[in-house]
Structure 1
Amino acid sequence: MPVVLISSLALLGFGGFFGVVEVATTAFAKALGVPGKIFYPLSLCAVGSFIGGILYGRRAWGLPLRRQFLVVTGVFFASTLLFFFVGGLWGLALFCFLSGGMSAPTIIISMGLIESLVAKPRLTESMTWGLVSPLVGMALGAAVAGPVVDWAGPARAFYGVSAFGALTFAVAWVGQAWLAPPSPQGIRTVR
């Protein structure tokens, strides 16, 4: 089912972002000599997600879910570009907060797309794919970030954040035609 594949791949990229952030932030704080302060950027990622989820859920958006998916993943990707400019722990904390703000909306929209486009008998299996994908992405992101930290240093490992952000947005963009709801005749309508 295209919607499951698209949502799962986008969420895999999204999870990769978190895997890279956790490993690179830990190494970055150690390199700065403040390993005990990794709490700030990592917790601000979660706080950003919390606030993003509340703000997203407070209003009814006028766009179809697939367009919301494109917008939210686009904003997420744009926010990951900030990681190219990581210079200190507090800047990193701010970047984590901003990118984290797209976390809950992306997951909500992805699950909404699956729920609205998958036949009821396949819904549980489809949701499971969507929920497991970020975990696989986190493992992949962490596995990639570790060697990059060892080879090029923690600041360069943050480039992986943007790579996973680009993957998430690219999948949402390319998948737009397959995320359109079918017309009564069973043909997908692209708007």
Structure 2
Amino acid sequence: MTTTVTSSVSPTPGDPGRKPGYRQLLRTPGAWTFLLPGFLARQPFAMLTIGIVLLVEHTTGSFGTAGAVSATTGVAMALFAPRSGRLADRFGQRAVLLPGVVLHAASVGLLVALALSRAPLWALLLAAVPAGASVPQIGPMVRARWAHLLGGARADGTDGTRLLPTAAALESVTDELTFVIGPVLATALCTGVHPAAGLVAEAALTTVGGLLFATRRHTEPPAHRRPRAKGEKHASALSVPGVRVLIVAFLGIGAVFGGMQVSLAAFTEDIGRPGINGVLYGIFAAGNMLAGLVYGALSWRSAPRRRLLVAYALLTLTTAPLWAVDAVPLLAVLGLLAGAGIGPSLITGFTLVERLTPPALRTEAFTWLTGAVALGQAGAATAAGRLADGFGASAGFTVPLVATALALVTVTALRGRLEPADASDPRTEERGRVVTRGTGHRPSAPVD
């Protein structure tokens, strides 16, 4: 791939020869009003699963049990996230967020109470379902706001759509900054204050950030409540073949997150240094964040589809040696490299899905990808926990390698579906709705 480094200084208005940088992106009117509260409200994705692992392992003494409860939360989030995204597209983000953050805080509180009372596993699993299902989908909502704000010409004469890849990079960096801060904060609170303190802080940040984000209505995308004709069903983002391929890719990325979380916790526990778990995971997330920051500052001449394949191949290679490492410094270095493979994969995937889907399906499409990350994280957490309990802490590190290798094979075989439709093709317009009779794209899954 050929790259040229661009400056972060704002380009000359209307100059098509230079890629817009982060500075120009952050000057978008209204951007800071949703970025700051959105950062607070993103903490569930970074703190919830690790907080559950640390609390449940403390009360049960089993990483396998902790991984199962954490996995249930992730599965619930993965299954309900697309529904939340679809509702946000149809009725507006505020209508979904306001009840959602309240339900999430109550669900996490119930889970904490049950864990501390040493409730049976079935009770913990039941409580984990609403805790995961109610996680507010702030990341996809922020990405949808960027797509809405940058969808046309800007006041300075530049084409706002040229800033969309930069916005995707910024969002990946923001996501990973939460994974630098969140696990370290959750681990410090759980090990230094109280085993439940990490989850309590997560619920508080989610509530405050989510409510503040919901009040920023002037940057919210309009609801797409188009009346449906008789016999017509509402479109699903799953009707876009490329979205389905990207879901597979993001399952593998989620497996890296879940496998690293549980395996690092088991490894540091095994060597008698549980306090450095958050630091090691923070280093892993820092690699992701720094790679995303650099990736977004470069101008790429190769197609996004090719960049995704290369980035994913590197991600698979960097996870390969993790299982054989038993020294903390070397594990930190390899974790940094593995994290660096995630950032470009995430950024390119989100850039592709923005090109593949129409505005009426965009928030739902983003939530399918974040839901896939959660589902992959959940499955990997369960598998890594079982392997760590049965074969030792290092065995859990094989999970990210196997998952990314399988996803890479799938994405490579189906890469043709990642090509955006020709804008002149009338079927491109048809992606905004699904007609159940006559011509048009049919949904691949039940829709409402």
Taking structure 1 as the reference length, the TM-score comes to: 0.91
| 8 Å Cα contact 2:287-2:339 kept in structure 1 | yes
Superposed displacement of residue 133, structure 1? 1.2
Determine the C-alpha separation between the residues in 2 that align with 1:174 and 1:99.
23
Task: Confirm or deny that 1:141 pairs with 2:380.
Answer: yes
The structure whose Rg is larger is: 2
1:179 equivalent in structure 2: 418
Deviation at 1:120, TM superposition (A): 2.8
Aligned residues between the structures: 187
Give the one of 271, 290, 293 matched to 1:32: 271
Query: Unaligned stretches of 5+ in structure 1?
Result: none
Query: Could you tell me whether the CA contact under 8 Å between 2:384 and 2:395 is conserved in 1?
Result: no
Which of the numbers 381, 385, 396 marks the counterpart of 1:157? Answer: 396
- Quote how far apart the aligned CAs of 1:171 are: 2.9
- 8 Å contact kept, 2:242–2:419: no
Q: Following the alignment from structure 1 to structure 2, what is the Cα–Cα distance between the partners of residues 171 and 61?
A: 24
TM-score by length of 2: 0.40
Q: Which amino acid aligns with 2:309?
A: L
Asked if 2 retains the 8 angstrom alpha-carbon contact of 1:83 and 1:161, the reply is no
Q: Which of these residues, 108, 112, 117, is aligned with residue 351 of structure 2? A: 112
Taking structure 1 as reference, are residues 84 and 27 closer, same or farther at Cα in structure 2, changes over 3 Å only? closer
Match of 1:57 among 292, 296, 302: 296
Equivalent position amino acid for 1:39 in 2: G
Deviates more, 1:30-39 or 1:143-152: 30-39
2:375 partner amino acid: V
1:129 corresponds in structure 2 to 368
Is 2:320 the counterpart of 1:81? Answer: yes
More helix as a share of residues: 1
What runs of 5+ residues in structure 2 fail to find an aligned partner? 1-239, 428-448
Query: Is the Cα–Cα contact under 8 Å of residues 387 and 393 in structure 2 kept in the other structure?
Result: yes
Q: Give the structure, 1 or 2, with the largest relative contact order (CA under 8 Å, sep 6 or more).
A: 1
Q: Is the 8 A contact 1:76 1:99 kept in 2?
A: yes
Distance in structure 2 (CA, Å) of the matches to 1:105 and 1:156: 27
1:174: how far off? 1.8
> C-alpha separation between the residues in 1 aligned to 2:408 and 2:301?
20
Q: Deviations over 1:54-88 (max 9, x none)?
A: 11001111111110110100110010112132121
Distance in 2 between residues matched to 1:90 and 1:186, nearest whole Å = 56
User: Following the alignment from structure 1 to structure 2, what is the Cα–Cα distance between the partners of residues 3 and 9?
Assistant: 10
Aligned equivalents of 1:141 and 1:27: distance in 2? 14
Kept in 2, the 8 Å contact 1:69–1:172? The answer is no
Task: Please tell me whether residue 66 in structure 1 is matched to residue 309 in structure 2.
Answer: no
Deviation at 1:168, TM superposition (A): 3.2
Matched, 1:90 2:329: yes
Distance, in Å, in 2 between the alignment partners of 1:129 and 1:31 is: 36
**Could you say what the CA RMSD is over the residues aligned between the two structures, in angstroms?**
1.7
Supply the distance in 2 between the matched residues of 1:142 and 1:131 (Cα, whole angstroms): 16
Tell me, yes or no, if the aligned pair for 1:50 and 1:104 is still in contact at 8 Å.
yes
Name the counterpart of 1:43: 282
CA distance in 1, matches of 2:342, 2:325: 20
Contact 2:250 2:372 in 1 (8 A): yes
Distance between the aligned counterparts of 2:272 and 2:400, measured in 1?
Answer: 22
Offset of 1:186 from its aligned partner?
A: 7.7
Higher mean C-alpha displacement, 164-173 vs 46-55? 164-173
- In the alignment, the residues of structure 1 paired with residue 268 and residue 327 of structure 2 have an alpha-carbon distance, to the nearest angstrom, of 9
Q: For residue 169 of structure 1, what is the aligned residue in structure 2?
A: 408
Secondary structure of 1:60's aligned partner: strand
What is the identity, as a one-letter code, of the residue corresponding to 1:57? G
Question: Which segment is superposed worse, 134-143 or 32-41?
Answer: 32-41
| C-alpha contact 1:77 1:168 (8 A) present in aligned 2 | no
Q: CA deviation at 1:167?
A: 2.7
